[in-house]
Structure formats: C-alpha cells, structure tokens
Structure 1
Amino acid sequence: MVRVIIKGGVWKNTEDEILKAAIMKYGKNQWSRIASLLHRKSAKQCKARWQEWLDPRIKKTEWSREEDEKLLHLAKIMPTQWRTIAPIVGRTAAQCLERYEQLLDEAQRRAEGLDEGEALREAKKLKPGEVDPTPETKPARPDPIDMDEDELEMLSEARARLANTQGKKAKRKAREKQLAEARRLASLQKRRELRAAGIYAGNGLYRMQKKGIIDYNAEVPFEKPVPAGFHDPSDDAFDKNTIKAREEKRRDQIEAEERRKDKKKIGKRRAEENPETIFEKKQEHKRSKLILPEPQVSDRELEDIVKIGRASDSIRELIDENPTSTLLHDYSQAFNNAQAARTMRTPAALSDNIAKAADDLLAITNAETPLLGGKNAPLHTTDFTAPSSIRAAIQTPNTVLAAFAQTPKQLYDRTPGTVVSATPGGATPFRDELNINREAGRASVEELRQALKSLPTPKNDFEVVMPEEDEGDEEEDMDTDWAEDAGEIDSKRAAILEKKKAKAFALRTEVFRRKLPMPSKINDAAFKRFPVKNIYDEADNLIRAEMRTLLKWDVEGIEPVEKFTLDELAAANALIEAEAARLGPYDEDEYMVKAVAMTSGRQVIVNGQAHNLEDLPPKEQVKAIKGEIESLTHVAKTIKGKSDKMQNKLKIILQGYEKIEENAVNSISKNQHDAEINAMELATFAELRLYEREAATQRIQRLEAEVAAVHEEEARLQKEFAEIAHQQWELNQKALRKMATTESEPVAYTNGAPVASNGTDAVNTKGDDDEAVAPTPSTDSA
C-alpha cells in the first residue's frame, strides 16, 4: 500500500533551518520552489511560517504596558480586525489574538475571584487526537537523534540543491555520478569474468587511470610511438604545451577566474546605467554600544557635598561648646531626617488602565443583544481616546539633591500630602550659609574667559588645492567605501550621458546634424539594386545601399547594424579629400549647367541607360518613345487589373455597408423633409397666433363696449320704470281718497282725535294703509 503523506502538522527544527536557507537563496516570492524542498509542507504553510514565526522582524519579547494598552484600545475600535491591528501594535496577528484572549481570561478570573492553577493550564493544552489549528505560530520541535529515512533524504536533497550556486542541476549531477559508478562496476565485473576465463584485456593500469593524473613509474612521460615505415615528419613537431595545460585548474584559480567574470558583469551593468544602489555593499549592522543617561548627581556635586560636610564637622569640633555655636548652620541636619534619608520611589499609577480596559471588553463581549432591552453593561470608561495621548511621564525624583537642598523641617505640624502629587526634586541650589562655594562659579567663568583671550588671532590666509583626478577613474570611485553625495552622483551620471549623447550625435549624418529638410517617407524603388556589369555598377549598388541605411536611420530611426567609429569616418573623409585633390579643380558653373541640362530635358531609357531625348537621333527617339508608350500601356493594364480585383473585393466587403448607407440616406432625407414641413407649420401657426392675439383684443374691446351700452340702457329703463310705477301709485292714492270721501262712514272725534267704529285710531290706520299701499320701486333689471 502506498504511503500517503498529509502536508501540515508541527514544524521541526530541521524544516525551519531548511526554510530559512531556502529563503536566503530563492527570496520571499518563490514559495512553491521553497516548498519543494519540504516534503511535508505546502507553499502556503511555508509562507505562513515565515510571516508568523521565522521573520527576524517579529518581536517575541514580553508584552509591555504600552503595547497592552494599545492592543485593548484598538480591539475596542476595530473588533476582530487583527490583520489591521497587528502592524499598528508591532506584532503579528496571531500574537495579538493570543494576548487579547489572555487578557480577557485574566479579567474573567478577576471577576470570578479564581486563581490560575495547574488544572486551568492543562485545560488549554491540546488533548490526544486534537490538531493544532495554527502550528505556524508555535516554536519548532527539537530534532530526534535517530531521524527517519524520509527526513534524512529530504535533508540531503535540500543540502545538495541549496549548495548549487553556479546554476547546475544537482539532481542531474547526482544521476550522472551514479551512472558513472554503474559503468565502472560493470567494467570491473567484465574484467574479472575475462580474467577468470584466462583472457587478459588491457594493460592492467586501469586502477591508476584517473583524470588529470599520470603515473610516471609505469609510463614514459611525453612518449610518442614511432610509426612503422615512411611517414610525414611534420607530425613530430614539438608540442609547446606545459604540464599545467594537462593538469586540472586549482580551486583558487577557478575562484579568481569567477571573480574576474563577476567584476566584468558588474562593469557591464554599470555601463547600462543601472541605479547605483544595486552596487552598494551591504553594511553590517553592528551591535550598538550601551548608552546610559547622564547621572542626576555629577562627581563635582558629590565632591561639593563631601567638602561641605567635612567643613561643617571640623568647625563643630572646634567650637562645639561655645555659646555662639548655635549661630552656625548644621549641613548634616537634612540627612538626620529619617524620611530624607529614605530612597524615594517612582510614583506608581493610581489605577490599572489595562485591567479596566480588559474588564470593559469582557463586559462588551458577554453583553446580550440590545433587542432584549434593559440596561447596558457598566463600563469603567466610555472614552475612545488613545492611551498614549493621555499617559503622563513618570520620572524618578532626585533623592540626593532634594534631601540635601531642602529646608529643614519636622515630621509634625505640616499639611498632609501625597507622594504622587509632590514636585520631583530638581537642581535646587545648595544652602551655603558659610559662603564656602560662593566664588566657585564666578572663578570658573573667569578662567574660561581668560583662556579664550589667550588664543592667538586667526589668520585667514589659506589655499585650496583640488586633487587631480583622471577621467578613467570615474568608475573606480564608485567602488570606494566613501558614501558620495547623491547630487554629485547625478551630476556625474548626467555628464557621462551628455558625453555619450555628443558622441552618438557626432556619428549621425551631416543632414541630421545640420537639421536640413528630410523626406517624410523613403522610396525603396529609388534604391533598387541594378544588375552588375562592371565594378562601377557594384560600387553604385553599395553606395545606394548605404544611402538607404542612413536615410532609414534619419527618417525612421532604425539604427544600422554596422556602425562606424569617429576614427573610421575621419579616415573616410580624408580619402575623399585626397581623391578630390587628385582629380584637380573643376568649374562649378560648367558643372551646374550640365546638371541642369541633364535634369531639365526629357530622360528616356535606352539599352538600360538614361539619355536625354533631344540628344538621340530621330530613329532612336521614335524607338524610345514607342518603348515608353508600350511600358506605360503595360503598366496601365496591370494597374487596371489590380484595380478591378480590388474593386470586386471591395464590392463584396462593402455591399452590406452600402445598403446600410442607402437606408440611412433615405431615412435622413425623410427626416429632413418632415423637419422642413414641421418648420413651415410652426412658422404658419406662429404667424396665426400673432393675428389671433390682435383680433381677440379687438373682439374683447367691442364686446366690452356692447356690455357698457346694455348697462346704460338698463339703467335708463329702470329709471323710466320707477317713474311710471310712482305715477301709478299716485293714481291709486287719488282713487282711494275719492272713494273714502264718497263711500266710507263718518269719523267720530274723541278729545279732538278721530276714532273709528272699532275703537282704533283712524289716522294711524290710514297712515298704515297708506304705507302698505305705497309702491316700492323695483331695482331689478327688465
């Protein structure tokens, strides 16, 4: 049954060392190649092991108080975002998560009042059968004394592959070595079998047949067998090769040769103008010296303290029993104080911010959903300010100077205070009541002033001598250990580039250098190669080819394969000038007249050569013209055939597009016609709108005049109706009075007032009747 290996599991020390060596060779990007060295680990696991444990930038020290505060603060702001928190804290994500869980466990134990015992530590360990989900973050397991065959094979293969620095395949070399050993054993077995059969083959020196080694005891050095009979004596020429040519090269020679090759490669890369940081040597980071802060009490201050104490003691011994001894100040009185003699401690923090933050996060984690309602979990603080911004600096107070320089005091009758709020001791001046050290500071200042006055006057006569540097040493200066300024490096590089550009510009043609007009496109037909009949034709073809190459360089930017140096170009110019001098002077005007005559006339080709048509005899002219007509006719037929073929192809290709174009043109025409009609209708209706607006205004005015006339007529008629109604009422009143005088009963008077038969006032009745009968003019319209 084939053994199946599942990749993963606990990392071993051997695998860690192989991984680190592979990263040193292959880098931190080729994880698949690195994982091929480890049979039990994948590329992803190798990358995680490096990023979580083996990277030297990872801090594995104890967590400081500032880091714990920062971790808890960031966990409150960005919960479960450990990949984001890790680079801010300066630890890995696994370390942050582990520390966070540890702080929460401590908060939980404090809340429950438990102690971390052995049972709790055992509960955190993996049980038999469980698999560690993150083995990359754990320390490596030590290597066993007796390693498995698989591990030994993996180790040997990794050693062979990592030792391969010259680009050769280690597996192929090992396979070739095994094949050579197999061939040697087969040959040895063959010889043994032949010897056992009584057949002796070879000279028996196969044991000494090693590469590059000669057995001078068994062989004649430099022996050449003489051929039998007549032979060519030229083969007996002495071979001048030394014995070193037959022996293999030593290791130091090979190493020196490799160094020369490396130096040549570096020079070639420098010539390619690569950045200078590639060639800088890696600086070894040495361990820095231990630099402690300066002591708060210097040696001089200690000497002053001792001197003051001794002076006080000596004076006390002399006049201790004198009544005036109480007038002297006791400098040792401050040291007699028990509290002053005690070493002051650094003030501790009033509260544990880390414990409070851990309790808050534990309460937030265990809180129920807010949908259930109720009160929130009580927190110590709801401030999200970073702890580093509110932390106060804690300093150790100066005990010696504070105790010595303080005012003598007693332990009673003082205001109670706290140690934390006390002002730290500083460099308070000594209480020198005997004026022992009053002139010490002034004397030191005076000493310094006198020493400065004794200095000679400066002489500003100096001379600057610049060192002479060769231009060829520019590349050697780059290899020195002195760190050159980046600006100087850029200026030197710019100067080198400017020289290269000037050299390249000098190699260009005269037309390009003088910026003369150049064609936009090269006509290749003008440089067609003509059949060679003599050496002049061959020279003409070479000149045409060179002209074509130079034109391509100037117009299209295609550099020629073969370039000439400045020396070669100067030599060519010298040859041309020498040949021109040998031909002698020539008349430029006559040469120009001939050139104009040759180019102004009509040129024809006769027998493969160009001639002026006027210089030919009549028969030759007719023949040349006929030939030209025939060639033009042939060219026209060829062009017509090509155009017909092209037209057919275009017809096939563009037929669909033509239909689309036709439909589009028809649609555009129709839309244009509709647009014109709509524009005409719009203009018509706009004009009609103006006319309608004027006519409507006139109609409204006419109707308003008619309405006004109707109102006037109505008012007149109403007035007339009111007058007629009044006249009718007056007539009715007259008729009633007439009837009253003729037909009504007589009126009785009582006390001078008329009384009707029914006892009512007749006058009032009459008045009421008059009011009732009186007509009221109507105001309604007719």
Structure 2
Amino acid sequence: MGIRIMVKGGVWKNSEDEILKAAVMKYGLNQWPRVASLLNRKSAAQCKARWYEWLDPSIKKTEWTREEEEKLLHLAKILPAQWRTIAPIVGRTPAQCLEHYERLLDAAQQKTGDMDAGEIKDDPRKLRPGEIDTAPETKPARPDPIDMDEDEKEMLSEARARLANTKGKKAKRKAREKMLMEAKRLASLQKRRELKAAGLELKMREKKRKYIDYGREIPFQRTAPAGFYATGAEKLEGEKQALDPRFEALRVDKMEDERRDEEESRLRNQDKKRHKKLVQENLPQMVQALNQLNDPASIRRRVPLSLPAPQVTDRDLEEIVKVGAQAAAVGGGEGATAGLLGDYRDRTTPLATPMRTPSTAPGQDVVMQEARNLLAMRAAETPLQGGEAVMSRLEGGTGFEGHQPRSLGGGGMTPGGGMTPMTARSEEGGRTPLSSGRLGGSSVASTKSRAHAAGGATPMRDELGLNQMGGSEEQQQLMVMSEKRRQKALRAQLAEGLRRLPEAQYTYEISVPTMEEEEDGGTDVGKEEDAADRDARMAAKKVAAEEAELARRSTVLKRGLPRPRIVDPDMFASRVRAATAEADEIAAADAMVQQELLAVLRAEAAKYPAKEAGGKGKGRSSKGTDGDRGVLPVMPPQMLSTARDLVAEEAAKLRKAVDSFGGEGGGEESGKGEGAGVDSQGDMCPVALERDWLKGYNDLAYFPGRQAFGRLTGASKQDRLTAVVHEFNTLAGHVEKVGKKASKLDARLNLATGGYVKRATALLHGVSEALDQIDEMRLEVRCFRRLKAMEEKALVTRVAEVNAQADSVAKREEQLQLSYVELLDERDRLFGVLHGHEGEEDRGEEHNGLNGKVTVAEE
C-alpha cells in the first residue's frame, strides 16, 4: 500500500469558509500561516486569496452596471492585462474584472457571428467533467455533505477547540502580570497606610509619562484667550446654579423637534389603542367602517405620481422657445394673412408625431462597440507583418482621451436639438417624405399640399398647391405612385415594429358574460363583485347579525346572572289557575306576565343552556320535548323601546312612592290592620313591600323530592325537613368551596407577598430595637443631666471646703516655719555656750544631744 499524498487546494466548502471567517476574527489579516494551520487542505496563500477574492465583506457581488462595464472595457484598452490596477478603479476584484471582461468579449463575438453554434451553447470557461478549476477561490462554496469524512470531523473539532481557547500562554502571562501589578499596588497602599498611622505621610510622586495621558488631560487642548472683561462672577454663578437642586439643564431633545420615526410609532400606537377601544365599545360601528373600506364601489385614493428627473433643463427650454420665436419671425404674414402662405423653410422642426429623444444616439451601444473594438485589437496583426492599422478601423467606443470613458465624460449625453436627426430619408433622394403645414394652423395651402403631391424635385413641398391634378398624365401617375410607395413604407414600418415585439409568455382567455336585458330595454352595467370582497361582506353581515341576536337576549343573560338549570313548566300553574278562578284584572295580568316569563325561560334554556354546578361544559336542558318549547317571536325595535319606556315610567312611579312614604310615617302605617302600607291613592308603602317580600322569600324553598321550588306553608313536615337539610347541605358545600378558594388565594398571596412580609418583619424588629435603644439613651441622658445638676450644686461646697483646708495648711506651715526658726536660733546659742565653757568631749556630747532634739523638733 502506497503512501497517501495530499495536495493542498481544491474547491472550498462551506465549513472551511466558516472556519476561515472565525480565524480571521481571532488572528487578524496578517497571520495567514496560523489561520491556515486550522485548515488541513488549504495553504496560507490560498486562505489569503480566498478572503480577498470572496469572503471579504467589502467585495461587491451585485450585477454589473452599464457604467462599470464601460469603465472596465475602457481601462482594459488603456491598461491592458493590468487587472490589479483596474480592479480598485472599477470597484471589483481582479478576478471579477477578468471574468466579466472575457464574458463581454464572448457576447460581442456572438453578436457578430464569429462563434459557432456549439461554441455559443457551451461556455468555454465552464468546467467540463474531469477538469480542475485553476481559481477555486473566486467560486461559491460547495455545501457540506451530510456524512463527513473523519479528517473533516477532526479538523472541525480541532478548529473549534483552538478558536474557543482564550486561556493560552499569552493570556496566562497577561493574567499573571495583572496579578503582580495588583499585588504591588496593594502592598504600596498598605505601606502608605501604616506610615500615615505612624505619623509619616508620603506624597504620591507622579510618574513622568513620555506620551499624553488621555485619561487625565485633553490632548492638544487650546484654551480660549482671555477677553477684555472679567468672567469670574459669571463662573461662580454658573457653579452655584449647577449645584442648585432646582436647576434643570435643558436637553437637546427638548430643544429639537420630535423625531419622525418616534412620532410615527407614537401615532401608530394611538391608532392601535383607538381601534381596540372601538372594537370593545362599539363593534357595529367598527363593522360598518370595515364594510365601507372593503366596498368595491369606493373610489381608490389617488396617490402622487413618482416621475423621474427631467432630461431637459430650464435653459434648454428657453433656447427652444427662442429658436421657435425666431422661426415664427422668419415666416411671412401675421394674423389673417398667416395662413395664406406656405412654409418653405428648412425642415428642422419636430416630426408630425412627436417621439421621445433617446439618451444616446440611435443604434449605438457603447459597451458592445467597445467589446468589438477590443476583439479587433486582439485579432490584429503587427505592422511588421504588413497588416492594416487597427486604429483606422476602430469605430466609436470610449476613446483614448483619459482613464474616464467618453460616454461617462459627456459623449453619451442626450443630443441637442440641432444634432438630433429630425427627418427620415425616403426612397427617393432629395425628397421630403412627410409634409406638414404650420403647427396648430389649418391653412388652405397646407391642406392642398397634404391632398396632392407634386412633381419635380420636391413633390411633397407644394405648400401653395401650384401643381394641380389637372396636369399631364405622367405627373398624375408619378404622384399616385409616390403615394403608394409612401403608404407601403408606412405599412412596412408598422409591420417591423410589430415583429420586434417580444413573444407572448402567457395566454389569456377572456370570456365576455352575456348581459340580460332589463324590462326597460337597458342592460346592467354594474361591475361584478370580487369573491374576497363578497366573503368579507358576508362575514361582516354574519357578525352584525350575531351581535344583533346577542343584543336581543334578556338582561339576565347579558349580565351573567344565575338562572335555573331545569325549568319546571308547572312553576306558575297554581297562580294561573287562581287568576282564572278569581277573574280579577290584576291577577289576570300577573298570570300573563308569569306565562311570558315561563316562555322566555324555556326559550333561553333551550337556546343557551345553563352550565353545570362545577362550571364545566353545558348543562342539561329543561325537561320536555323540543316541540313543547316555543321559539320567541322577534319583536320590532319600536315595540321593545315602547315597553322599556313603560317599565321605566312604572319604576319612576315606584321610586317616587318610596321617597314619599319613607321614614317614620311608613312605620306607623305598618302597624295597622289589613290596610297597612296603603296610601290614599291605593299605592303600596315601601315598608309593606319589604315586609311582604321578606315573608314570601322566607316561605320559598327547594324540595329535592319534587325537584322544584315551592312554599313551606302548604308542605308536609317531611318535605320541610328535606328542604332544610338540602339547604344546609348546599350552604355547607358552598362554604367548603369558598373555603378552598380562600385557602388557594391565601397561599397565592403568601407566595406573592412572603418576601415582603419577611422584609417588613425584619424592619419592624429593627425599628423596635432602635426604639429600645432610644429609650435607653434617653434614660441615660436624663441620669447624666441629673448628675450634672447635683454636681453643680455640690461643687460650691466642695470648693469652699478645699479652700478652708488649704488655708489651715498654709497657717500650720507658717507656724511650723516660725518654730523652726526659733529652734535654729536656740541651737546656735547653745552651740556658743558649749564652746565657751566645756571641753571638746563634753561639747561633742552636748552637740549630739542638741542635734537629736532638733531632729525631734523638725519631725
């Protein structure tokens, strides 16, 4: 088995491009060997070429514009084969310039027909199977395969590890140096603190910097020169104003207007809020507005036209006006005589049918012409071999005036009025094919000239009609033949224009609908409504109908009030039977109300069933077949409004009665007999109403055996017992349900406010401790104040006592000093007596005795 040899290079893959981008981000654009060490199959030069030819974000990869192509061909003619010099001027890479240059030359050869059909079909620069791309750095990356080789996986893992390693040798050294500098700083700081504590303060010596310290000074600052007036007071006032808390600096955003994008976002948010509020509060109005917007009959608002910049300036227009005025001045006649003479001037006026002036000369393509010139220069022979000079055969192009193409320098501008060809040559030389009289006029001479042709040199310029049809037969035949040729030329021109139209890409079939005639003979010319608009209109109509249906519900359903899950059809049967037996109008009216209430309850229970007790799903509807439940008729809005007005009037009357019979008077009337609570007009007193309502409410109960509500008055003892037990169980279940809900809310509240409670408890404990300390300090302050007062009172006595003791000590000392002086005198006298009468030994003994006495006296 031979040794496997790997040659670096080849097509670039997507994974290699990503690794190269990451490596450039880490190592920069100068360490290409280190970047190439991450890619096993690429060298440093290939990595550099790949970056500068494809991956660099500054590379322009859009389509080539016409100006770029003209500049490329012109520079290739001026600087042949110098692509690295041409590339920065054009704004592309050298490889892109070379590739596009070759493509333009191939396009020129295809136009001239120098290439065969096979060569045109097969691009010569397209790689064939088995060929190797010599410049893979300029081609797009190949997608990564799903199953990578082991070498590629190993390369990816190594690159990921190396690129993610930010703790290499250099990073470790930097971290170690940083730690040493921090240790030195802390040591010097500790040393200064110790010296300062010992009474020695060292001043920090500023390190002399060789360069500018950008952290402490402003580089190249030039202070403003001093003026003629002192500004010290103004500076002090400014500093005081800056320190003033009431002073607020004026910001730039307050001085300037609101930004356009911020204003648009603010208005957009306001529109969203307004739309949402309108949907919640007034949905029908919103639906109506949407219908108006989606109505196909609404006229689309006209938008302003976006027109290109004019090609003719105001100065050109002024020149054209001047030329027209001069031409009008040349013509003979004014007013009534202006139409009697023909116009025999030079035909430099525009055509009868105005056409748009092209931006360049007609039939001139600068790019293709320059490409053909470059092909001719490439295929030309040298003058030494006797070939023809190429420069004499070059036509048009960008010229050799400089590095800028001639078309960009002004050669391709819109030609002036004098340079634009205004007439077209006809088949006959020297003849003008088109004839027109004075623009805007209708002279007799011009009419004749358009109706007849003339013989001679200029048959189409017979403005005065000198050549009549009554001439010779030869002239008439000539005029007829010229007219036929002109018509034929026009037909050929029209056919050529139709042939130049592009071929149809799509085929459309239009079927015209048959319009039925109306009775009056007219036809419906209305536009058919679009399907999407029709669906939107039907959906809006459906939503409006649903809203109207929901609006017709009873107040109980609108407010979500509780209602019976099962409707008993015999709920009000006893009251209806009693009303029928009594034959009373009020009872009959009450029976009708009860019947209508029962019908409403049954209809709403069938259409909107009540939910179960647990609140999950829909409950069972009331008993009975669907045939027994009648559908409520749809009442007109006028009738409903009338009924509401009557109810409101009755309620107002009842409120008035409540206001007039409230207070003590009602209480007095309530103590009377059967007529208690009834005034002179026969209306009920509110106290009596409340008493009757409470009596009826307390007498009403639910009987589980019958599964219906009833009165306790006429029920048996067993039924009353079961009703009370059922009520107790219901209340107990409700209490349990409410208790569980309250416990959940309590737990949620504790979870939400537990931290705040702990914080409040800690703060309260701290506050209590602070209050205790304040009380202790206050007690100590009072004690010390009391002690100070007592000390101030006792201070005078103690000072007097100390002064008395000092005086006594001074007197005692004075007495002792006097006695001491007397004793010294006595000693001296005794020494004199002893020296005079006794001997030395006796004198010595006496002297010692006297010394002892003196010592005793001193003590």
Q: When the two structures are superposed, what TM-score results if normalisation uses the length of structure 2?
A: 0.27
Q: When the two structures are superposed, what TM-score results if normalisation uses the length of structure 1?
A: 0.29
